[in-house]
Amino acid sequence: MDLGLRDAVAVVTGASRGIGLAVVRGLVDEGAHVVAGARSSSEELAALADTGAVDVVPVDLADPAGPAELVRAAGDRIDVLVNNVGAVTPRLEGFLAITDEQWERSWALNLMTAVRSTRAALPAMLAAGRGSVVCVGSVNAFLPDPGVMDYCAGKAALENFAKALSKEVGPRGIRVNCVSPGPVATDLWLGDQGVAQTISASGAGTPQEIADAAVAGTATGRFTRPEEVADLVVLLAGGRAGNVTGTGITIDGGLVQTL
């Protein structure tokens, strides 16, 4: 299926690993040119850059000036923006132990980076009369978890932001959608100092037991793969989904069982 992304210019935040890297690969496979932003590159992202289809922009996206710096590197044309960057830290000591600084950093990474990237990219899209913004959210936007309370709040705000913006810019040819994964097999969950290992260190079980419990309530019984999330993001980014906007799509193996 041709998704209508050949020769499109796409900006992806948090692009060096995990879901972001998979999104970059998916866009390149569809013929897009990708401007990939991350604090540092990776071997896999550098290999994609060697093909000429990807420009890697080292940038701290938590810095208020970082998102605009990334978008400027794309030039005057931006067809697709993927707001992927985010971070989660388990809060094992409860709400009262979460500091203002931790709230602010979580808010910056999980909401404000997307707000700032979109603010920087939107003028080019408006001038062209077309564009697609896809935000990578989380099922925690509507499945609040006290163990990641600040992350949940940031992702809920991100989903609300995407839906509100879609109503403003839809009449001008720009679509805004949100993809909300459940647990994904990335370093964020399964790597060194990832969620499973961090919770395990508190004595709650082995990392494998923590990971197994995270997907025990799913219908499929497994973590979503990064490329599965990326396929959905790329579909929404392309023209074949041309009348899909203001939508939040969940990919969680059946974890969320309500409509």
Q: What are phi and psi of 87, to 5 degrees?
A: -155, 150
Query: What's the CA angle centered on 41, arms 27 and 37, to 5 degrees?
Result: 55
What is the domain count for the chain? 2
CA dist 181 and 230 (Å) reads 10
Residues 143, 215 share a domain: no
Helices (H), ranges, 74-206: 100-107, 113-128, 149-169, 187-190, 195-199
Active site residue 247: no
Q: In what side-by-side order are the strands of the sheet with 174-181?
A: 54-58, 33-38, 9-13, 80-83, 131-136, 174-181, 248-251
Number of other residues whose CB lies within 10 A of the CB of residue 79: 24
Residues 218, 158 share a domain: no
Number of other residues whose CB lies within 10 A of the CB of residue 212: 14
CA dist 259 and 239 (Å) reads 27
Q: Is residue 88 part of a domain?
A: yes
Cβ distance 202 to 195 under 8 Å?
A: no
Cβ distance 132 to 79 under 8 Å?
A: yes
pLDDT at 210: 80
Q: What is the pLDDT along the chain (259 residues), one digit of tens a residue?
A: 899 999 999 999 999 999 999 999 999 999 999 999 999 999 999 999 999 999 999 999 999 999 999 999 999 999 999 999 999 998 989 999 999 999 999 999 999 999 999 999 999 999 999 999 999 999 999 999 999 999 999 999 999 999 999 999 999 999 999 999 999 988 777 777 777 788 877 776 787 888 888 788 899 999 999 999 999 999 999 999 999 999 999 999 999 887 5
pLDDT at 258: 73
pLDDT at 111: 97
Q: Is residue 256 part of a domain?
A: no
Q: Is residue 257 part of a domain?
A: no
Residues 202, 166 share a domain: no
- Tokens 């001008």 belong to residue: 172
pLDDT at 80: 98
pLDDT at 195: 79
Q: Which domain holds residue 72?
A: 9-184+226-251
Residues 108, 81 share a domain: yes
H/E stretch holding 214: helix 207-214
pTM for the model stands at 0.94
53 three-state secondary structure: coil
Q: Of 34, 151, 166, 177, which residue is the catalytic one?
A: 151
Residues 175, 123 share a domain: yes
CA dist 117 and 83 (Å) reads 7
111 three-state secondary structure: helix
